[in-house]
Chains A and B, each alone.
Chain A
Amino acid sequence: MNPNSHISYLEATARRRIAGLLDPGTFHEFIPPTLKRVSPHLGLFDAPVAFDDGAIIGDGKLDGKDVYVFAQEGKFRGGSLGEVHSAKITGLLRRAAQRKPAAVIGLFDSGGVRLEEANAGEIGATEIIRGIFDAQKAGVPVIGLLGGGTGCFGGAGITSCCCDALIASEEGRLSVSGPEVIETVMGVEAFDSRDRALVWRTTGGKNRFLFGTVAELVDDHIPAFRSAVIGAMTAQKPLRVADLKQDLERLKKRIEAYGECSDATQIWQKMGLDAENVAAMSSQELKAEKEHIVKI
């Protein structure tokens, strides 16, 4: 049985992901690496820079429709939000609010704010969030993809949840606090960050999908992400106060239902799933199972 027929999203570089996602040959990069807009801060730390500061932005076509896209390179400084990195994404979102493409697609792969750039990175994250809201207010859906090896943590985690829809593979991770941080603060008995099965049970694509944070669970296969994005392009998360209040109620109910659970497997059991088997299920199997579960 040869499982190696997939075109791995996880393994691909950010550029390769964009190339595989969009209609062939349609990607045009804004602020390309030839302009060498590098980080103005990393030199202080005697650290190497990247010509695109780990963020690639541009436009192209997806299924014939005009889209904007940004992709974080998770392998450059953990895909972290630096000043230039964030400014590029923010600029793309602001242009989207003006020019109104069919959607903005964000390929998240980031550990959060770049520590070396401190406040510039924090501000960058907030500007991206405002950028997402402005695009949405202009009627442009923002679709987020989670499937890279760095995951989507910290400021990036928060930012990604502002998207209209999230599409993830089981290898993708989404959280605010990273595993090591949780362990440091809560102790290793509460959360052993080296127990990678635990980390993925808690923050991985499958659990986020079962919780409804992620709308679509796909295989680690670039064409699968592409299909899912095409299907999600009309998604629009309501941004009215009433909808947000309703969502808060939902979250309260969720804590009531699952707050006593100390592991994802307990939650899955309560949802009505064969909890021991979830990790081994394929995304199709899990999607089928999700139809029957208790939805909160």
Chain B
Amino acid sequence: MSDKHAIRNRKLAKVRQAFGEGKVIATERTVELLETVIEPGNRIILEGDNQKQGDFLAAQLARMNPTKVYGLKLCVSSVGLPEHLDLFENGLATELDFAYAAPQAARLASMVMKGTVKIGDVHTYVELYSRYFAELRPDVVCLVANETDKEGNLYTGPNTEETPPLAESAAFGGAIVIVQANKIVDRVRRVDIPGAWVDFVVESPKPFHLEPLFTRDPALITELRILMAMIAMKGIYAKYHPKVLNHGIGFNTAAIELLLPTYGAELGLKGKACTHWALNPHPTMIPAIESGFVEAISCFGGEVGMENYVASRPDVFALGRDGSLRSNRFFAQMVGHHADMFIGATLQIDSQAHSSTFTAERLVGYGGAPNLGSENRSRRHRSEAFLKAGAEAHDGEPMPQGRKLVVQIVETFQSAGKPTFVERLDAWDAMDKAGFSTPPVMIYGNDVSHIVTEEGVANLLLCRTPEEREQAVRGVAGFTPVGLKRDRRMVEKLRDRGAIQRAEDLGIRKSDASRDRLAARSVHDLVRWSDGRYQPPSRFRNW
């Protein structure tokens, strides 16, 4: 049984000998530092979030000498940089545990097939953070901060994201903490991570990379998506009144966000639904916030361009006394886990309502979706939505129970010839090629409560048998082969019962689905809604 604290002290002594006292390490000596504290077979956690990436440390890690350092086990929540996989290509690391890998999904798949990368497992974010306190305890943790002082007090600001659980797992688990900071200052504007938890800090030559992942241009929202958003809002939001919710990022949910002040107000949702959110600061939420729909938003991370807008709304966002946002992925994930509703999109759904985004050629990972989009049997507090869905789901059972709303909102086709609804998920091929023991499913069929497509909404909670559930899925699968195979009589019966509702059943005419209903139809409109507080990155401008 190794004494992690003893090992840690030994490493710290080696560093003191080579570098002297103090936590600040010269930028050009970073590789040397890493080679001093990392030993063969070590487990390294590298902060690589959805948005904030430890790009400098990743690059330095990839430059280490593979004869000195090898057999490393790498944990990154978001495999977003080529350097993450270079570590394997360069013979430094052998095993990978992660949650999300979309930017590197294709290269990862090919390296797994070649055997250059051995996947420990694929996780959701909170699952991965939890295991850092169990089987995946780290030896060295590399973090990212905006500012640090010489004592290692860190300001991580709007993009705090996953820094807290990573820092905690290291600081109290005998690991060494190394931080790349944009700037070393005399005094940080706010302490997000205390210096006592940090061993070494390095000033990176460039500010860390930040990706604007949660910005959706309203100009790209089509009438079809508006139709689907209206179906979801009338068939689900207006029916159950989910107050606490999470929107999985995408154009379908962006359409709903932009319809809240208009169609949502018509449906009487203001104050009755969509009051509390587990959500990043989506620019498309600005009209709803300005219209008084929103009481609070718990953010997983920040969003490029939204800093000033967020800082102007301390009533809605979690601002520190310094005036800037503090995000926290772990806490926001738990807000979303215990919410009334999740609604998001996916790439493939089968006739049993299982969904996945994996293919044999792209190991994309899960991100946070399974944690947000799953039935929550641990929930006890009651709400209108929880009880209403529960009454439907557990109708006829002796013990009454609540039910979380887990909604998939998808177009029936991803593109011409590429249906969303398939008989067999590509995830089975991913399983074979990557050597997983079960197919990588994002959301399991029995977690799903509703499916919304252009053809209508299927309420799986009202389905009594597996056959009914399957026909409910086929009944909204449109002109896909899965949809065309439907049992028409059964689907009509489900429609009579309200288990399937078409747009017309909800009183929605297709011609109602017009872009004029969007509260904002362009990024420029969002800027105007915010009176200039929203400052979109250049790629979104057309003025």
Please list the residues of chain A having a beta carbon within 8 angstroms of any beta carbon in chain B.
Answer: 1-4, 8, 10-11, 149, 170-171, 194-198, 200, 204, 206, 279-280
Contact = CB atoms under 8 A, between A and B. Distances in A.
B542 A149 contact: yes
B286 to A, nearest CB: 11
A264 B521 CA distance: 28
A200 B542 contact: yes
A171 B539 CA distance: 15
A1 B519 CA distance: 10
B290 interface: yes
A279 B543 contact: yes
Contacts of A204: 543
Interface in B486-543: 515-516, 518-522, 524-525, 528-529, 531-532, 538-543
Given A4-B519, A11-B515, A280 B532 contact: yes
A171 B540 CA distance: 13
Contacts of B521: 4, 8, 11
Nearest to B262: A4
Range for the number of chain B residues in contact with chain A: 20 to 34
Of all A-B residue pairs in the complex, the 8 with the closest CB atoms, nearest first, are A3-B528, A196-B541, A197-B538, A195-B538, A197-B541, A170-B543, A196-B538, A3-B525
B219 interface: yes
B515 A196 contact: no
Contacts of A170: 543
B519 A171 contact: no
Which of A11, A171, A196, A204 has the most C-beta atoms of chain B within 10 angstroms of its own C-beta? A196
Contact of B543 (A1, A8, A194, A200): A200
A2 B520 CA distance: 8
B520 A4 contact: yes
B290 A1 contact: yes
Given A11-B219, A280-B532, A2 B539 contact: no
A170 B532 CA distance: 17
Contacts of B261: 2
B518 A4 contact: yes
Contacts of B516: 4
Contacts of B515: 11
Contacts of B539: 194, 196
Contacts of A206: 543
B519 A200 contact: no
A171 to B, nearest CB: 6
Contacts of A4: 516, 518-521, 525
6 contacts: A2-B519, A3-B520, A3-B528, A4-B516, A4-B519, A11-B521
Contacts of A2: 261, 287, 519, 529
B529 A1 contact: yes
Which of A1, A195, A280 has the most C-beta atoms of chain B within 10 angstroms of its own C-beta? Answer: A1
Contacts of B520: 3-4
A200 B523 CA distance: 14
Interface in B396-438: none
Given A4-B519, A4-B520, A4-B521, A198 B542 contact: no
A171 B532 contact: no
Given A1-B290, A3-B520, A4-B518, A171 B542 contact: yes
B285 to A, nearest CB: 15
Contacts of B525: 3-4
Contacts of A195: 538
A195 B541 CA distance: 9
B519 A196 contact: no
A3 B518 CA distance: 11
Contacts of B542: 10, 149, 171, 196, 200
B534 to A, nearest CB: 12
B521 to A, nearest CB: 6
Contacts of A196: 538-542
Given A195-B538, A200-B543, 15 more contacts: A1-B529, A4-B519, A8-B521, A8-B522, A10-B522, A10-B542, A11-B515, A171-B542, A194-B538, A194-B539, A196-B539, A196-B540, A196-B542, A197-B538, A206-B543
Given A4-B520, A11-B515, A200 B528 contact: no
A174 B521 CA distance: 23
A197 B538 CA distance: 6
Nearest to B287: A2
A10 to B, nearest CB: 8
Contacts of B528: 1, 3
Contacts of B543: 170-171, 200, 204, 206, 279
A200 B541 contact: yes
A199 B287 CA distance: 27
Contact of B531 (A1, A198, A279): A1
Query: Among the interface residues B515, B531, B541, B543, which one has the most CB atoms of the partner chain A within 10 A?
Result: B543
Contacts of B522: 8, 10
B538 A198 contact: yes
B246 to A, nearest CB: 26
Nearest to B258: A4
B175 to A, nearest CB: 40
A153 to B, nearest CB: 15
A195 B532 CA distance: 19
Contacts of A194: 538-539
Nearest to B541: A196
Nearest to A169: B543
A165 B540 CA distance: 30
A171 B543 CA distance: 5
Contacts of B519: 2, 4
B375 to A, nearest CB: 38
A113 B529 CA distance: 38
Contacts of B541: 196-197, 200
Nearest to B528: A3
A48 to B, nearest CB: 12
A280 B543 CA distance: 9
A196 B528 CA distance: 18
B529 A3 contact: yes
Nearest to A8: B521
A171 B525 CA distance: 12
Interface in B240-283: 261
Contacts of A280: 532
- Best-surrounded residue of B290, B521, B525, B541 (most CB of chain A within 10 A): B541
A47 B261 CA distance: 41
A183 to B, nearest CB: 14
B386 to A, nearest CB: 33
Nearest to A149: B542
A45 B542 CA distance: 31
A2 B525 CA distance: 9
Interface string B56-96: 00000000000000000000000000000000000000000
A188 to B, nearest CB: 13
Contacts of A149: 542
A170 B520 CA distance: 18
Nearest to A194: B539
Contacts of B290: 1
Interface in B285-323: 287, 290
